[in-house]
Amino acid sequence: MAPADLPYLKTNPSVIFFTDFDGTITLEDSNDYLTDNLGFGQTKRRKLNIDVLEKKTSFRDAFWQMLGSVKTPFNECVETLCKVMKLDPHFVEFYEWAKANNVPIVVLSSGMIPIIRALLEKLLGHKPDHIVIIANDVESRDGKHINTPGGWQIKYHDDSHFGHDKSLEIKPYAQLPHDERPTLLYAGDGVSDLSAAAETDLLFAKKGNDLVTFCEREGMPFTTFEDWSSILATSKDILSGKVSVKKVAQEGLEKEQKDEA
């Protein structure tokens, strides 16, 4: 794909920020909440997550089982999540900074577009006009209406073993000559972010989560974050040229190794 055809290059940004949604922009994972409270529960969900990390099953199959255990009508799922989900307290500030500084925000999620859109509108207090959402969708199960018990199922974005291979959205940008493309940043927290982690210049991995474990095991450069205040500070420094992504990643890896020693 030619650079002129890549949508996030239209405003000629210096930085593009790709991010996961659940547990990254929100404090909790909405899909985990549904599975734990309306589906087969936390114990079985955690076992499936570990199976994915240990490559015993695909994320696609594990996630299908998790959401398949939720029989609550879809509209009730959305209503419940809008009541209980909270936004990272610093994300709004990041959103406003990104909008003012020509930094596109692209949400790459293994969740479902209607839920993400509803939560962003509720939590931001307005329609998110500076966020592009690329995610899975929802569809009827067995011809039922999605707002009836057992009436919905996830509709995967692609045929990959992730269900939504997030790297596919980033690759066309990553493959551009280095001096012709923006800096690519990514924030995530879990196993669904594995495919995207290798494609960007710097990965922000949420401290204490599965993604950090994977990055350490694979020797992948990353820096950890606890909330969006540190992501905002680092992104500002990168955009201004105060620091390089390589330096941030190296320091992040060294800090994590030191903390574990």
The Cα–Cα gap between 123 and 82 comes to 8
The Cα–Cα gap between 48 and 61 comes to 9
Q: Note if 22 is an active site residue.
A: yes
The Cα–Cα gap between 85 and 121 comes to 12
Catalytic residue among 5, 22, 51, 237: 22
Q: State how beta strands 152-155 and 131-140 pair.
A: antiparallel
The amino acid at residue 30 is: S
Q: Note if 51 is an active site residue.
A: no
The Cα–Cα gap between 238 and 244 comes to 6
- Residue appearing with tokens 């474990």: 213
The Cα–Cα gap between 196 and 203 comes to 9
The Cα–Cα gap between 137 and 12 comes to 30
Q: State how beta strands 131-140 and 15-19 pair.
A: unpaired
Catalytic residue among 20, 165, 189, 201: 20
Measured in degrees and rounded to the nearest 5, phi and psi for residue 54 equal: -90, 10
Alpha helix (H) residue ranges in 101-244 = 113-124, 167-174, 194-197, 210-218, 228-240
For 190, the token pair is: 């879990």
Angle at 17 between CA 11 and CA 21, to 5 degrees: 130
* Active site positions, annotated: 20, 22
